[in-house]
Amino acid sequence: MHELPITQNILQIALRHAGDAKRITRINLVIGDLSAVIGDSVQFYWDIISKGTIAEGATLHFERIRACFHCNDCENAFEPDGRKFECPQCGSDQVNLVSGREFQLESIEVE
């Protein structure tokens, strides 16, 4: 489990971008499925560590991005089934992972 340090990072970044805002009301996160972060525990730690800051009570919004491959032979886009990576449409192994590793704080909403 490493959600505590991650939650601390989220708070630091948000505060750094808040300027002279009075309150941070929402934090928009983009999290790929391969990054193994559990939203519920981030929320749990968030409620504790944001106390007393201008981000206290802010909504954490997780946009989850699925792990997705692109097939270079037939242009198919697909999610792997956990047993193979080859393209389910044409069987090609000329495929690239195009999403799933995202781990960003995209924006904050302030007032």
Partner 1 sequence: MAKKVTVVEEILSENDRAALTNRAQLNDAGLFGLNLMASPGAGKTSVIMATIQALGDKLRIGYIDGDLASSIDVDKVAELGVPAVQINTGGLCHLDAFMMQGALPQLSLSELDLLVVENVGNLVCPSGFRLGIHRNVLIASVPEGDDKPYKYPAMYLGVDVMLLNKMDVIEAFDFDMEYFKRGVEILNPGLAFFPVSCKTGEGLDNWLAWVRSEVAAFKEGIVAVYEPR
Interacting residues with partner 1 (CB under 8 A): 1-2, 5-6, 9-10, 12-14, 17-19, 21, 25-26, 29, 34-36, 67, 80, 82-86, 93, 95, 97, 100-101, 103-111
Task: Give the C-alpha separation, 111 to 86, whole Å.
Answer: 48
- Write out the two tokens for 58: 């802010």
Nearest CB to Zn ion, comparing residues 24 and 87: 87
Task: Give the C-alpha separation, 46 to 55, whole Å.
Answer: 9
Give the Å distances, CA to CA, from 31 to 62, 64, 69, 100, 109: 7, 5, 17, 8, 18
Q: Which of 8, 12, 59, 89 binds Zn ion (CB under 5 A)?
A: 89
Q: C-beta of 74: minimal distance to Zn ion in Å?
A: 3
Contacts to Zn ion by CB under 5 A: 71, 73-74, 76, 87, 89-90, 92
